[in-house]
Amino acid sequence: MWPCDLFVWFDLRGMLLFTFAVLLVVYFWGGKDPPNFPPGPPCLPLVGNIFNIESKQPHIYLTKLADVYGNVFRIRLGRHTTVFVSGWKTVKEAIVTQADNFVDRPYSPMVTRIYSGNSAGLFFSNGKVWRRQRRFAMAALRTFGPAKTSMVQSICEESHHLQEAMEKEKGEPFDPVPLLNNAVANVICQIVFGRRFDYSDRNFQSMLKNLTEMAYLEGSIWALLYDAFPALMKHLPGPHNGIFSSSKSLEASIRGEIERHKLDPAPGDPRDYIDAFLMEEKHNRNSELGFNDGNLVLCCLDLFLAGGETTSKTLQWGLIYLIKSPRIQDKVQVEIDGVIGQTRQPTMADRPNLPYTDAVIHEIQRMGNIVPLNGLRMAAKDTTLGGYFIPKGTSVMPNLTSVLFDRTEWETPDTFNPEHFLDADGKFARRDAFVPFSAGKRACLGEGLARMELFLFFVTLCQRCYFTTVDGAEPSSEGIIGATRSPNAFKIHARAR
């Protein structure tokens, strides 16, 4: 080695060591917790606890950490700290009792890139934009959704299309997931686009494929890595890039629907959510409330992610639990036969007369655990939670898994047990710790629509078919975790009753 090369080598090594030392100093100096901050597991410099989190079942790992560190603990991902809140009493304290303090979303590099710096749609916006857009969306859902008498008819008609698609399988084993995705997505399509799609429509199928991919990747370890190390992950290949390509494809499809509405404007009253938004946009051209075409695309995207994925996944888990519990499936069908029969179309007025069926649907939601964690919140001011100090700006994650399986709230939390929702007289009983739609000011704005869809689709399916699995094999209840929790691939037989 020449002397000058040796000098350069030593100089480069010295620079690397110096840079690493500076980063360590910055990390330890900046990462020092304030007094009485929640405890948490030991973490590595720079990367934090990123390698501790189980990629396949992160909600289980995080729920178990509460047994070690208590119901309020912290996790570090890179240099960012997130406080996790577990158990019904503590989660309620955060998102209900202190709803105003934990209503905003923290900054997310991934969300910023997906939403391209726009008003961030319905779920990731804050302040007056979020409040106005949420009120507008809820009013639109009341107009075009559950409160509209024709919506019950629309769901029942979609159930008929679903039934016809199942009958085309002619008794052969089939994957029910695509059919359920089609049916549920068409309900939200009618509210947002004002029309349904044929199940064979290529653009419709492309949208559903992109929705599924986004829902998985947004809740995966790849999304955590992107938010923890955005400057690095932005330039690396990997599955995380699928989040952005899928969102762009979905946005292009939604823009096409918006242009269709502009070419054929509503002559009077709005026909759907897009019409209503475009009309509002005309009256708020100079406002800063998010009424612009860019934000309309993002709001539609959010409605599809929330309104399609969650309900379809719940119905998928419903089939699995019916198959795993034939006695429960029999009991549901006996109750439906006695109240509705096998030919009459169900209505929402039937629900009070079907307490056992209603209890089974609620238990499917609890055990299905469709949204295992929740959306991140941010403390608007210094506060305390579970006795610990939470500084202003701290990211807080309510763990819904810990609530739906809270041993202090449920008699048999790890067992599928519809009795959780029945009183001593066999009547339906509500439970405070039943929060699959979250709670407080950020609770799911489509909860009413989802409840209607679940009841009508579930009752119609049980009314018409008896479900078994292939060769008696029991489907897995473990699930695949993303932003939502999906069943592992399974096939079923649907025998006409």
d(CA 411, CA 91): 19
334, 340, 345, 348: CA torsion to nearest 10: -100
Nearest to 193 by CA among 259, 125, 118, 138: 259
d(CA 295, CA 301): 10
277-304 confidence digits (pLDDT tens):
999 998 887 678 899 999 999 999 999 8
Annotated domain spans of the chain: 45-496
pLDDT at 17 over 70: no
d(CA 421, CA 431): 7
Question: Among all chains, which residue has been given the structure tokens 């406080």?
Answer: 83
d(CA 233, CA 147): 45
**13 against 108, higher pLDDT:** 108
Whether 110 contacts 226, CB under 8 Å = yes
* Model confidence band, residue 119 (pLDDT cutoffs 50, 70, 90): low
For residues 115-136, average pLDDT: 87
Per-residue 3-state assignment (H helix, E strand, C coil) for 323-362: HHCHHHHHHHHHHHHHHCCCCCCCCHHHHHHCHHHHHHHH
| pTM: predicted TM-score of the whole model, two decimal places | 0.91
d(CA 102, CA 440): 9
Q: How is domain 45-496 classified at the architecture level of CATH?
A: Orthogonal Bundle (1.10)
Token pair of 67, please? 């047994």
| pLDDT at 278 (0 to 100) | 95
Whether 269 contacts 312, CB under 8 Å = no
For residues 166-180, average pLDDT: 91
pLDDT at 138 over 90: yes
41-88 confidence digits (pLDDT tens):
998 888 888 888 887 888 899 999 999 999 999 999 888 899 999 999
Residues 6+ apart with CB under 8 A from 361: 318, 454, 455, 458
Rounded (5°) CA angle 13-14-20: 90
d(CA 247, CA 188): 18
Average pLDDT taken over every residue of the chain: 90
d(CA 19, CA 484): 40
Q: Which residues pair with 480 in a beta bridge?
A: 486
446-463 confidence digits (pLDDT tens):
899 999 999 999 999 999
Whether 66 contacts 87, CB under 8 Å = yes
pLDDT at 130 over 90: yes
d(CA 27, CA 375): 27
